[in-house]
Amino acid sequence: MHPALSIIVFTITSGLGYGWVAISVFLELSGLAPAGDPGARALSGGLALALITLGLLCSTAHLANPRNAWRSVLRIRTSWLSREAVLALAFYPVFVAYLAAMPGGGLAAMLGWLSVIVALGTILCTAMIYACLRTIRQWRTPLTPFNFLTMALALGGLCELVFRSFSGAPVDVASTLVMSFMLLAFAGKLAYYLSLGLPPAQGIGAATGLRMATVRLLDVGHTAGTFLTDEFGFQISRALLITLRLICLVTGFVIPALIVARLSAPPLLVLGLLLALLGSLVERWLFFAEAQHVVRLYHGQQET
């Protein structure tokens, strides 16, 4: 698929924001590592909301007519996109009410756990928009929602860790949680790349349903590129692909995990966060660039 910058930024920033909320609220309500200062709690929540809002605004740039974005909530029974939009809108009043509630009260706890559920549900819906597509084998895998969730929690956890290191809040439990999600995200991404290295699951015979003999395309029906060939496939060299995968794994997971494991000083944690964001950008670009829609089989590409 053609990697659209607006969608790349949307999935990373909104996922980071939701992951940050989930981690910070969990640490607060579980009693493992309370934030302590109400002002710091409100500031971290506000920053997370700003990232979520930035991501949602970027997502509208992918629409042909952004003024029709409101229509995305109309198909909640059948569309993961509609479910994502509904949960994203529902998250705001729930989380703002949690921030405004008195810390330690029953109402705050209820709103906090509901915020975590809605945040994780929104990330899951975003991932399922891609994982539900049978026409793209690179996305049609349980690893897609797993990677979206673990990467969002790892990035969000890193933001929480950086914020705590500067505000003076305890970081031991938070660092352990971040390390756990980073290891899970690394394992999931590595498994995803290894699965893509397997022989193609589809060919032009499978696409047409004709399996009794060898099928080959005689005429693609056009002499130049079309919207389908431009938007539903992306050519990338094998050498560049391997290089970018290594960059993603090393900068997105390995180096940040080593920095977190050493409980480094705040400036180094910031560096780890920046490297993780760089790795995430590469990862999300590859997520789209490597995806090959089955429709390309009818336009000259014999394998996906």
**Given a cut of 60, is residue 116 above it in pLDDT?**
yes
CATH of the domain at 96: 1.20.1630.10
**Given a cut of 80, is residue 36 above it in pLDDT?**
no
Task: Name which of 58-67, 90-99, 131-140 the model is least confident about.
Answer: 58-67
pLDDT in tens, 199-257: 454 556 655 566 666 766 666 666 666 666 667 767 788 888 899 999 999 999 999 99
* Higher per-residue confidence, 46 vs 171: 46
Q: Quick check: is 66 in a domain?
A: yes
* Higher per-residue confidence, 79 vs 304: 79
* pLDDT score at 297: 65
| Mean pLDDT, all residues of the chain | 85
* pLDDT score at 18: 96
Domain carrying residue 190? 5-299
**Given a cut of 60, is residue 5 above it in pLDDT?**
yes
Q: Quick check: is 304 in a domain?
A: no
* pLDDT score at 201: 47
Per-residue confidence at 304, pLDDT binned at 50, 70, 90? very low
**Given a cut of 60, is residue 286 above it in pLDDT?**
yes
Tally of structural domains, the chain? 1
* pLDDT score at 137: 84
pLDDT in tens, 80-104: 989 998 999 999 999 999 988 877 7
Q: Quick check: is 117 in a domain?
A: yes
Q: Quick check: is 189 in a domain?
A: yes
Per-residue confidence at 173, pLDDT binned at 50, 70, 90? confident
Q: Quick check: is 54 in a domain?
A: yes
List Cβ<8 Å contacts ≥24 apart for 265-268.
265/165, 266/162, 266/165, 266/166
* pLDDT score at 204: 61
